Amino acid sequence: MGGVSLYLHIPFCVSKCGYCAFYSERVCGGDVGAVVGAMIDEVRGYRSGLEISTIYIGGGSPSCIGVEQLCRLVDAVYEHFEVCGRVEFTVEANPGQVGGAWLERMKGCGVNRLSFGAQSFDEGELKLLGRAHGVEDVYAAFELARGAGYDNLSIDLMFALPGGTVEVFAESLDAAVGLGVEHVSAYSLSYEEGSDFMRELLAGRIERVCEEVDRAMYERAIEVLAGAGYEHYEISNFAKAGFECRHNMAYWANDDYIGIGPSAASWFGGKRYTNVADIGEYVAGIDSLGRAVAESSEPTVIEVACETAVLNLRRRAGIDVHEFVKRTGYEVFGLFGGEISCNAQAGLLEVCDDRVRLTDEGIMVADRVLADFSVV
């Protein structure tokens, strides 16, 4: 594809009432303008004229910082980098935070793809998730986006929520298909250490759905979306033909990408590095040192090969054996012969048309299979 993918991470801070702390123009005690200013300074720390192939503004709900600050950040990107003419430019948005004027301004900034964090079309589930929008907000946001001329819209759906059922999730899938959305990301709820859901789980106030229900929901997603003409091109992602997310495809190919902002990660120039998560430390680090890296590493060639294999296997197309040796210098069967053979015998991997890929059964236990390729 050429060029580097650029990810701009807008830190998303949710208050107890479920609304983003950005509404008050303060971010965990820090001024929004100062955070955006630091991000702009971080952008300028990279080589001027660096070619950018995709731009993705994420972090949960970038729409909550206000259009002026977003445009300020985007203007700096275009001024400092060489942005490809046919760049895919995505902005994540909360359905309850977009209006016609916001959509028009974003389009004027070059945004051509929107990703709406709907999560569910069930009011009870949205309340459980602490979302600041309702079901009607999702429909309204899509109508406004279409009216503003956006023809590449994505939606996030979450399943396996506490108390969730296959039937309720199926209704959300049907609603997304009914909107005519070009792309769907469907994720099973994960219980991250330190998260509200983990605390509730450990306190016994909620229960995980059982593995059988979790799998049934995932299978329903595959069935419904495939029946509606969506290609299941990555473990959690489905798209109409030609609407695969190019930004994420670059990530799964293990191409270079640059992350800007608190906790943003980068893989660039043969190094991996992650910025500090604390917003105050990030701003202070950029102001004083021009960088705010919390940790960095320089993977060995064998580590890069393992990372590439794991990321490639997330794609339904899997590992292209010829491309793999060009990128890594290793023959995939020479490096992972035992792992491929073992998982193929178990019916979890298949070798076809010079590709190694997950089978339909393998994708159901993908984490277990990918773990076999993470080290050699």
Give residue limits of the domains in the chain. 4-252, 301-371
* pLDDT band at residue 16 using 50, 70 and 90 as cut-offs: very low
Q: What is the pTM of this model?
A: 0.92
pLDDT at res. 1: 55
Rounded Cα distance, 27 and 50, in Å: 30
In this predicted model, what pLDDT tens digit does every residue of 307-344 receive, in sequence order? 999 999 999 999 999 999 999 999 999 999 999 999 99
Q: How much is the average pLDDT of 68-84?
A: 95
pLDDT at res. 97: 87
| H helix or E strand, kind and range, residue 352 | strand 349-352
Ramachandran sector of residue 265 (left: φ over 0; alpha: ψ -120 to 50; beta: rest): beta
- With residues binned 3-state (H G I as helix, E B as strand, rest as coil), the percentages for the chain, rounded to 5, are 45, 25, 30
pLDDT at res. 17: 32
4-252 classified as CATH 3.30.750.200: yes
Residue 78 pLDDT greater than 50, yes or no: yes
Strands 355-358 and 30-31: unpaired
Q: How much is the average pLDDT of 223-241?
A: 98
pLDDT at res. 59: 84
Least confident of 8-17, 41-50, 254-263, 341-350: 8-17
Residue 14 pLDDT greater than 70, yes or no: no
Q: Which amino acid is at 123?
A: E
- If you average pLDDT over every residue of the chain, what do you get? 91
Specify burial of residue 289 (Cβ count, 10 A radius: 0-12, 13-18, 19+): exposed
Please answer whether residues 41 and 290 qualify as being in contact, where contact means their C-beta atoms are separated by less than 8 angstroms.
yes
Helix (H, G, I), strand (E, B) or coil at 116: strand
pLDDT at res. 205: 82
Specify burial of residue 278 (Cβ count, 10 A radius: 0-12, 13-18, 19+): middle
For the chain, how big is the Rg over CA atoms in Å?
21
CA dist list (Å): 205 to 136, 162, 163, 201, 321 = 29, 10, 11, 6, 48
In this predicted model, what pLDDT tens digit does every residue of 271-321 receive, in sequence order? 999 999 999 999 999 999 999 999 999 999 999 999 999 999 999 999 999
Tell me which fold the domain 301-371 belongs to.
Arc Repressor Mutant, subunit A (1.10.10)
CA dist list (Å): 9 to 47, 116, 282 = 19, 16, 12
- Closest by Cα among 63, 180, 143 to 111: 63
